[in-house]
Amino acid sequence: MDGDNLGQIIILVVLVVFSGFFSATETAFSSINKIRIKNMANNGDKRAAAVIELSEDFDKLLSTILIGNNIVNISASSIATILFITYFPRHGASISTIVMTFIVLVFGEITPKSIAKDFPEKFAMFSVPFVRVLCVVLTPVNFIFSLWKSMLSKVFVSDENRGLTEEELLTMVEEAQGDGGIDNEEGELIRNAIEFNDIQVSDVHTPRVDVVAIDENDSRDEIDRVFCSSNFTRLPVYKDTIDNIIGVINQKDFYNSNKFKGDIKDIMSKPLYVIPNMKISELLPLLQANKTHIAVITDEYGGTVGIVTLEDILEELVGEIWDEHDEVVEEFIKINENEYKVIGSADLDDFFDLFDMKNDFESSTVGGWITEEMNRFPKVGDSFVYEKLNVTVTKANSRRIYEAIVRVNDEYVINEEN
């Protein structure tokens, strides 16, 4: 082997190494976690800051990498062809094509991209000094390509929204949980915060039939009895009918002899009235501004739909809040592997999530869904089948469903196991 051929082989090896470098750099910059890189830059990492700077003009970065990659690949193929023709005059070109295709695929594409995919931030920071220099060197070429891209963008107009959607955010949270970056509790809190703006007061309220309230003319003993039996710290006050709630009294004020002299109006605060479709994200600052914990939900006719409390809103973020006086109510009680006891007031979204099903119904509770499905007020013992579920009403009256037994069909369970 003469000196010229040895030099060509060395150049060929260097070009393949550069091919792998460009391929890995492209993958690294496409796969970096921007949030992680920004945190590193905020902590004083200069290379991370340089990575962010390059990523902000990704079109220029990508064209630089692709130009460099194609230059080295074409050069490598040309040198390999000359080299193989020297040793195999008849079939040198064909052998060169086969060998270089294998080498470029393995060492110039697949292997470096796989490595960079596993360590994108580290490789991006490793390669950033060289890539910055190359961006400067190839500025004239990049300028030509930028003009070409501008012309193409006028021909092919994209109406795609590049903003991050709520669904994509939720997917990111699920991936972070799967990777172990956040635990289940943190993931649930983030999901609740993302979905917070979509929840209406009617989704979290206490319905009218469950509201514990007092008449403005009730005696002190009667009010004391209601406070003791309900364990509530605040009670709505109505005049004549619960559809006419005129105020709210606080337990502390009621038992404070300096404030309560016998007339309930002395300790009654003015209620806050809201409509059923108000977002809880809008109600929360309203409750804070009015320094109250309860809002009365009214319909278009002025009647009472129910009440919503500050605790109801906070529970949508952090989950159920129980104190030592609360009676813990389980909405879903597992009877056996495929059977559950479900209370009628259970949230319908949680119900369908439990059985990994999609909720396309307008009702917000399981009891409302059962009534909607049967198109009438069901009686105890009534049952129906919905997709993979057998639903049987076990506790109800003429106006309301209190409990049902839900069982997954045996046929579905067998098919799922198979």
Residue 284: give its domain's CATH number: 3.10.580.10
Same domain, 8 and 146: yes
Same domain, 205 and 194: no
Same domain, 122 and 90: yes
The rounded mean pLDDT for the chain is 84
Q: Determine, yes or no, domain membership for 259.
A: yes
Same domain, 205 and 193: no
User: In CATH, what number is assigned to the domain containing residue 393?
Assistant: 3.30.465.10
The confidence score (pLDDT) of residue 158 equals 56
The confidence score (pLDDT) of residue 321 equals 64
C-alpha 90/C-alpha 142 separation (Å) is: 40
Same domain, 346 and 236: no
Same domain, 249 and 126: no
pTM above 0.95, yes or no: no
- Burial class of residue 168 in the structure, from the number of CB atoms within 10 Å of its CB (0-12 exposed, 13-18 middle, 19+ buried): exposed
Same domain, 174 and 229: no
Residue 401 identity: I
The confidence score (pLDDT) of residue 404 equals 93
The confidence score (pLDDT) of residue 415 equals 47
Provide the terminal-to-terminal Cα distance of the chain, rounded to the nearest Å: 64
Provide the token pair at 187. Answer: 């993931």
The confidence score (pLDDT) of residue 164 equals 64
The confidence score (pLDDT) of residue 225 equals 92
| Ramachandran angles phi, psi of 268, nearest 5° | -85, 130
Q: Determine, yes or no, domain membership for 324.
A: no
Render 309-367 in DSSP notation, one character per residue. Answer: EHHHHHHHHH-----TT-----SEEEEETTEEEEETTSBHHHHHHHTT-----S-SBHH
Same domain, 83 and 103: yes
Nearest to 362 by CA among 296, 276, 282: 276
Q: Determine, yes or no, domain membership for 362.
A: yes
Q: Determine, yes or no, domain membership for 295.
A: yes
Which residues, including other chains, have CB under 8 Å from residue 386's CB and lie 6 or more apart? 373
Same domain, 77 and 143: yes
Q: Determine, yes or no, domain membership for 27.
A: yes
Q: Determine, yes or no, domain membership for 327.
A: no
Q: Determine, yes or no, domain membership for 115.
A: yes
Q: Determine, yes or no, domain membership for 242.
A: yes
Same domain, 269 and 336: no
C-alpha 335/C-alpha 295 separation (Å) is: 37
Same domain, 20 and 133: yes
CB 266 within 8 A of CB 244: no
The confidence score (pLDDT) of residue 342 equals 92
What is the residue range of 365's domain?
332-417
CB 169 within 8 A of CB 155: no
The confidence score (pLDDT) of residue 338 equals 86
Mean pLDDT (10-residue bins), the chain, 418 residues: 73 90 89 84 86 84 87 89 85 87 89 89 89 86 76 65 66 73 76 81 87 90 89 91 92 82 84 92 91 91 90 81 60 88 88 87 87 89 90 88 88 50
Same domain, 38 and 137: yes
> What DSSP character marks residue 231?
-
The confidence score (pLDDT) of residue 249 equals 92
The confidence score (pLDDT) of residue 358 equals 86
The confidence score (pLDDT) of residue 325 equals 56
Choose one of 283, 318, 353: the last residue of a domain: 318
Please state the domain count of the chain.
Answer: 4
